[in-house]
Amino acid sequence: MITDYPYYIGAVMKTKKSNANDIQTKLELGFELNFGTSNSVKYFQSPSSIILMGDHTQYNDGIMIATVVDSFVYFACQKSQKKIEIAYNNQKISGDLTGGFKDSSDDKLLHSLIHLINNLIKGNYIKCGFECFIKNETSKVFGLGNHAAAMMGFMKSLSSTSCFDLNNHQMVEVAVKSETELFGPVVSKTLFYASLMHKEHSLLYHDSRTDFKKFLPINENIRLVICNTNVEKENFHERCKDRIVECEVGVKGLRLYIWGIKNLRDVEEKFLERHIHMLPKRLYSRCLYNVLERKLVEDAYKHLRNNEIEEFAINLNKTHKLLAEHYEISSVTMDKLVSIAEESKICLGSKMVSCSYHDSTINLVYKKNLDKFSTHVSTKYVSKNGSELVIEDYGISEGANQLKINQKHTVYRN
């Protein structure tokens, strides 16, 4: 099925269309331009993932609700001899099965991918050479969710060459370990599970302590609308790392009053309230966010299980409020966008996009209300620096999968 990719600048809707045949043609041409014949090439797409609830709780054994959108990294991959080669974003890099690639790139996504491949080689997971052409058509707004798409899509495509034999769980574990070496504990395993295994028209519930995973169906008429200011966040990875340290210090303080606390997953709200004077206000707020967000996700999970989508979506606004007030990781602009969305009365739920390179929000909107929502937000939003607000509409996709000849797929471009 051919599907539109509308995005709005102001109140103007722009639509671009493509299908699997279009993208396959681009992949074939790109592969042949870089590597020659493509007789045995297989084609894959892997979606960007995003956390809807439970942001920044993964390093306290949190629980999260995530999904993937039809913003894809595409792959054309085939087996070769001992040489390993990647062509990406007008770059062609070569290595071998003993030394891998030079572990350096100015492009963050490519750097993550190279680091992963080198780790796979060190672990003796890759058994033969490969040639891989990669086309990234994701939106930058999804941040580390795009890294998850690239890494899981690459491993999925490489496994089709018989050069690589890991199951889904092993692929996620290797990828998360590799990415954590670069970005630290801000890396969420949930994003990787979603990009690899997600089911269409569903949301992923993931308990990071038990590794329990469940896909819960959601109305296929629900759209994920991104309000993207295109304003770059400054040092957001460092801010996230600061919050991690603050939570760790808070846990150390709480261990003085209760034995056996591993992390904030073991702390209840009443216990925290009783010890409010034992922690500095800032540390207390960081800990309180984790405790309250866990309760909020548990409540949202119950609503999803009962197919109560509107009750679930309201919790997104509550999550944003916690992120803004207690975790202090939002911004005036994102707070305003959430407020505007709430005022519309047609947005089911709205919150900031965490771990994104841009100040942006995600909004759940019924497909029939997209135009009204766009007009409302565009009318109410006033940029302080003159940058245009881009409103992008996404559907909920499935995890990394092989593109089949003559099978039509949705392709989205900015």
Confidence at 82, pLDDT banded by 50, 70, 90: confident
- pLDDT on residue 8: 44
Burial of 14 (0-12, 13-18, 19+ CB in 10 A): exposed
In sequence order, what are the residues at sequence separation of 6 or more whose Cβ sits closer than 8 angstroms to the Cβ of residue 215? Answer: 198, 199, 202, 203, 204, 205
Q: Indicate the domain borders of the chain.
A: 17-219, 225-394
Q: How far apart are CA 351 and CA 357, in angstroms?
A: 15
What's the Cα-to-Cα distance from 72 to each of 125, 139, 151, rounded to whole Å? 25, 9, 12
Average pLDDT across the chain, whole number: 89
- pLDDT on residue 396: 95
Q: Does 2 have pLDDT greater than 50?
A: no
CATH architecture label of 17-219:
2-Layer Sandwich (3.30)
Confidence at 374, pLDDT banded by 50, 70, 90: very high
Mean pLDDT value across residues 83-112: 88
Residue 9: other Cβ atoms inside 10 A: 13
Tally of CA atoms within 13 A in the half-sphere of 61 that contains its CB: 12
| Burial 186-196, CB ≥16 within 10 A → b, else e | bbbbbbbbbbb
Question: Alpha carbon 105 to chain centroid distance?
Answer: 21
Q: Does 16 have pLDDT greater than 60?
A: no
Q: Which two tokens stand for residue 102?
A: 């030079």
**Is CATH 3.40.120.10 correct for 225-394?**
no
Q: How far apart are CA 155 and CA 172, in angstroms?
A: 10
Q: How far apart are CA 227 and CA 376, in angstroms?
A: 12
Question: Alpha carbon 287 to chain centroid distance?
Answer: 24
- pLDDT on residue 405: 56
Query: Is the model more confident about 315 or about 13?
Result: 315
**Using an 8 Å Cβ cutoff, are 77 and 157 in contact?**
yes
Place of tokens 């005036």: 332
Q: How far apart are CA 414 and CA 406, in angstroms?
A: 24
- pLDDT on residue 163: 84
- pLDDT on residue 10: 46
In sequence order, what are the residues at sequence separation of 6 or more whose Cβ sits closer than 8 angstroms to the Cβ of residue 377? Answer: 227, 337, 340, 341, 344, 389, 391
- pLDDT on residue 387: 73
3-state DSSP of 301-366: HHHHHCCCHHHHHHHHHHHHHHHHHCCCCCCHHHHHHHHHHHHCCCEEEEEECCCCCEEEEEEEEE
**Using an 8 Å Cβ cutoff, are 10 and 123 in contact?**
no
Q: Which two tokens stand for residue 160?
A: 């089709």
The proportion of the chain whose per-residue pLDDT surpasses 70, expressed as a percent, equals 92
Please write the tens of the pLDDT for every residue from 172-185: 999 999 999 998 88
The proportion of the chain whose per-residue pLDDT surpasses 90, expressed as a percent, equals 71
